[in-house]
Amino acid sequence: MTFRTKLFLIFTLALVVSVGLVAAAVTEVTRRAFDQMNAQHSDALVAQFQREFAQRSEDVVHRVQGIADAEGTVRMAIDLSRPKGDVSTYVNDATGVARAHQLDFLDFISNDGSIISSAEWPARFGYKLEWVLQPEDWVARRSFLMKADTQEGPALALLSVSRVRVGDKDLYIVGGERMGREFLASLVLPAGMRALLYRNLDPTFQAANLIDSTGPATQADQFSAIVQKEQQEPGEQIAKINWTADAANAEMFHAMPLLGRQKELLGILLIGSSQHDVVTLERQIMLLSFGVVAIGLLVGALLGWWGAARVTRPVRQLSEGAREVAGGNWNARVNVRGRNEIGQLAKAFNQMTEQLVDQRERLLQAERVAAWREVARRLAHELKNPLFPLQTTVENLQRAKERGYGEFEEVFHESTGILLAEIENLKNIVVRFSEFSKMPHPELGSVQLNEVVRSVVKLFEAQFGAVGRPPITPELHLEEHLPLIQADATLLHRALENLILNAMDAMPSGGVLMLRTSPAADSGVHLEISDTGTGLTSEECERLFTPYYTTKQHGTGLGLAIVQSVVSDHGGRVWVESEAGVGTSFHIELPKHPPRRSVSFPISFDYEKEKEKEVEPEKHKQEA
């Protein structure tokens, strides 16, 4: 993940979190506000209902009292107070009186509790209403709720009782209104709210007992839980009903118990508040919030992206520059202006790269000098060896000559032989140096390293078991599914030859030569060549790949340098692991694709100049 992406994500995340928090806070506040508003509405409606109920109660009381005070009722009471008062005369009176006074219930009850006339159930004359004879039940209350029997079944009634006394006989007038649809319709409800009434006329919940202002309520079964809870424990409660899976169709109900004379639960008033508006508004707010968030995020993302890009561009440039430098292009420069840290970093980077280039130049030069010195030393060393015998031989010849022809003739052949051998030796040295200097650039192609290994091993098979030499056992552990790499098979072959030769040289007493290939990271390959030779010290390991460094008595010391050169040209790396007395393992790791060549060595090398740079670096620095 790039720095810009990270920065963008962080920026965006910060934006999302902050916006989200704000949106959540706003939503929560809004929801609470709506809940509070709902609660206030419900409370207002409950209060309204209570006022309406109280007003109705008073109205019923007045109407019933009015009937009791009416002349007709008084005459009835007087007539029935006589010993032979005929109640049958009045059996139909209640219906007309009830209609005139707009009462749903009206009963004229005689002194013994018998119904004289009943408006709501005309056929029930003669039967007794025992509760009327217990005035302690109702005299203290002007009106009360009661479960009244009607022809159609039990009903919830708001009743009042009045009494007309003539002598020692009472005529009771029980009148009232039905608590039902009409009562609910009389309640003034704001939009989105409705009132339902559950008439608790049965011990268990009955859907038919739940009504609204138009009649039986729909989906009444949904209220069974509220009702049952109210039946078990009467009290105000609030419950929510989700009509569908959509929360907008939910409804919050405020349940209010309606109690009778003996505190029995006779009805439940349910005031419902539709959550549609709230939820819709919430959703709109949410939507808006999301929209704002989305737009904010988008804008923020864009800004963030732009800002991140802008902020990270110098970093990216720095990064690219560093990558180029890492890739070998030490001339990479970062074009970042500004006085901030990035600018300073860029400036420092540029300075650093310049310094690196200088130092690399210096180092290269130093290495060149060192290399030349080493080459010169090695050359001097290599040449010195054959040159000394040459010199000795020539001196011998001179002495022999001086001594005479006979000794000269004796020494001449030997000496010329030695001279030719040493000259051949010198020629070999020259050839090797020539070959090292002529190390070609790899010509890349798809190479199966296992094949190269097998090819090289086969080449040395004869030498592994040569007569007069302790045997060397080759062990191949080649990964079968080794990926192909882009490489120069010839150069690899050559490098492997050198390694094997070194390994053979390290095992004068024979041993095991193990070659292992395995996949490496990034589809590269890994080659390990291990011997069971004498091993190397750590110092020897450090200098092993230096050209002309050798631990052997003979040899140019270029073999590992060639190996290193080949590996380096393929973009790989080579290292050694060794333990004295155990053996040595050379590891070569090659990528799938070698990188492009980024390091160039100067084609020409001015030794003198290079030497002079080394002696007077300050002077050359100024020149650069």
Partner 1 sequence: MLLQRLAITSAGLAVLLAALPGETARRPRYGGVLRVEIGAAVRSLDSAVAAANDEEDAAKWEIESLIYDTRAADGQFHGAGPFHVTAFEAGKQAVLAATEDYRLGRPFVDSIEIAMARARQERILDLELNKTDFAEIPAEDARRAAERGVRVSQSQPDELLALIFLGASESKRTRAVDLRTRQAVALSIDRGAIVNFILQKEGEPAGGLLPQWSSGTAFLFSTVADVVHAKELSAQIVPAPKIVLGYDSGDPLEQAVAERIAVDAREARVQLKAQAVRPGPENATDARLVRLRMQSKSPGPALESFIDTLGGITKIEGKAAPDPVSPEGIYNRERAIVNSYRVVPLVWLPRVYGLSARVRDWTPPGPGESWPLADVWLDGPVEAAVEEGKK
Give the residues lining the site for partner 1 (CB under 8 A): 87-89, 91, 121-127, 151
CB-wise, 2 or 89, nearer to partner 1?
89
The per-type count for the chain, helices as H runs and strands as E runs, is: 14, 18
Kind plus residue range of the DSSP H or E element containing 346: helix 341-403
Residue 196 identity (one-letter amino acid) = L
Whether 461 contacts 455, CB under 8 Å: no
Tokens of 394: 């020539």
CB-wise, 87 or 303, nearer to partner 1?
87
CB-wise, 25 or 123, nearer to partner 1?
123
Q: How far apart are CA 24 and CA 31, in angstroms?
A: 10
Rounded to a whole number of angstroms, the minimum distance from the CB of residue 110 to partner 1 is 12
CA angle 482, 483, 484 (to 5 degrees): 120
Rounded to a whole number of angstroms, the minimum distance from the CB of residue 45 to partner 1 is 39
CA angle 345, 349, 354 (to 5 degrees): 150
Whether 188 contacts 48, CB under 8 Å: yes
Rounded to a whole number of angstroms, the minimum distance from the CB of residue 65 to partner 1 is 27
Token pair 């540029």 in the structure block, residue:
350
In eight-state DSSP terms, residue 536 is: -
CB-wise, 126 or 471, nearer to partner 1?
126
CB-wise, 123 or 298, nearer to partner 1?
123
Phi first, then psi, for residue 557 (nearest 5°) are: 75, 15
Rounded to a whole number of angstroms, the minimum distance from the CB of residue 122 to partner 1 is 7
Rounded to a whole number of angstroms, the minimum distance from the CB of residue 123 to partner 1 is 4
Q: How far apart are CA 496 and CA 488, in angstroms?
A: 12
Rounded to a whole number of angstroms, the minimum distance from the CB of residue 86 to partner 1 is 8
Helices (H), 404-558: 405-437, 449-464, 489-506, 538-542
CB-wise, 114 or 455, nearer to partner 1?
114
Token pair 């994500």 in the structure block, residue:
9
- β-strand partners of 394: none
Rounded to a whole number of angstroms, the minimum distance from the CB of residue 151 to partner 1 is 7
CB-wise, 89 or 219, nearer to partner 1?
89
Token pair 């062990």 in the structure block, residue:
475
Q: How far apart are CA 194 and CA 469, in angstroms?
A: 111
Rounded to a whole number of angstroms, the minimum distance from the CB of residue 178 to partner 1 is 19
CB-wise, 121 or 464, nearer to partner 1?
121
- β-strand partners of 530: 514, 585
CB-wise, 127 or 388, nearer to partner 1?
127
Rounded to a whole number of angstroms, the minimum distance from the CB of residue 93 to partner 1 is 11
Whether 105 contacts 159, CB under 8 Å: yes
3-class SS of residue 192 = coil
In eight-state DSSP terms, residue 446 is: E
Whether 102 contacts 191, CB under 8 Å: no
Rounded to a whole number of angstroms, the minimum distance from the CB of residue 113 to partner 1 is 15
Using CA atoms, how far residue 89 sits from 76, 80, 86, 100, in Å, is: 9, 10, 6, 19
Rounded to a whole number of angstroms, the minimum distance from the CB of residue 143 to partner 1 is 27
Beta strands 472-477 and 511-519: pairing type? parallel
Tell me the angle at which helices 93-100 and 71-81 cross, rounded to the nearest 10 degrees.
160
CB-wise, 121 or 290, nearer to partner 1?
121
CB-wise, 91 or 248, nearer to partner 1?
91
